[in-house]
Chain A
Amino acid sequence: GAGVSQSPSNKVTEKGKDVELRCDPISGHTALYWYRQRLGQGLEFLIYFQGNSAPDKSGLPSDRFSAERTGESVSTLTIQRTQQEDSAVYLCASSFGGGLGGDYGYTFGSGTRLTVV
């Protein structure tokens, strides 16, 4: 597609439930990233996928968080047993290759606003 697409755009869930967030990267972008932004904070790195290489999961805050990517296409971020501190905007980005995405940085999606009540 023309841009990075994320769904849903908004999600309200009850504490303890599982949620799944989806990201469709730009076609041809081999690198995919998940970040989140909690209220009043900067963007926080969660996970990075590059082609068929093992993902860098070093930013995932707990084992309740997991992510998958099929080849160089769609990625899903799953949060199990959600907690109130998981409330944030979850942003997906993609780029050509790993590294800096050329001179243009990442291309971000519009994000999924997750609210855990």
Chain B
Amino acid sequence: DQQVKQNSPSLSVQEGRISILNCDYTNSMFDYFLWYKKYPAEGPTFLISISSIKDKNEDGRFTVFLNKSAKHLSLHIVPSQPGDSAVYFCATTTSGTYKYIFGTGTRLKVLA
């Protein structure tokens, strides 16, 4: 029973356009959310996070949106670049705990 779902296994976007990656969760107790990026043969690297007290967090080209009522998280990348091509995982946890629960990942391909 997956608590964190990334329903799109893959996404292709033209360079310069917006990439939107989505993530849904089931447990309303989750209050901290993260996005990780993974290149082939490398470990996941932290990208951006958001606490449940916020609904938006921005870092350069990356913005994470949180809709608590819908239990939905999204990552926007604007403008998308070919170097953004990777697998993106969302992860979530409850404050004070240390286990992250990860989604299955979305493979983003940015076309030059």
Q: Which residues of A contact B (CB under 8 A)?
A: 4, 9, 31, 33, 35, 40-45, 48, 50, 56, 59, 91, 93, 98-100, 103-111
Taking CB atoms, residues of chain B closer than 8 Å to A104 are: 46
Question: A43 to B102, Cβ gap below 8 A?
Answer: yes
Q: Which residues of B contact A (CB under 8 A)?
A: 2, 4, 6, 32, 34, 36, 41-46, 49, 89, 91, 93, 95-105
Q: Is the interface of B mostly helix, strand, loop or mixed?
A: loop
Taking CB atoms, residues of chain B closer than 8 Å to A48 are: 98-99
Taking CB atoms, residues of chain A closer than 8 Å to B2 are: 42
Question: A108 to B44, Cβ gap below 8 A?
Answer: yes
Question: A110 to B42, Cβ gap below 8 A?
Answer: yes
Question: B45 to A108, Cβ gap below 8 A?
Answer: yes
Taking CB atoms, residues of chain A closer than 8 Å to B97 are: 99
Question: B89 to A43, Cβ gap below 8 A?
Answer: yes
Tell me, rounded to whole Å, the shortest Cβ–Cβ distance linking B31 to chain A. Answer: 10
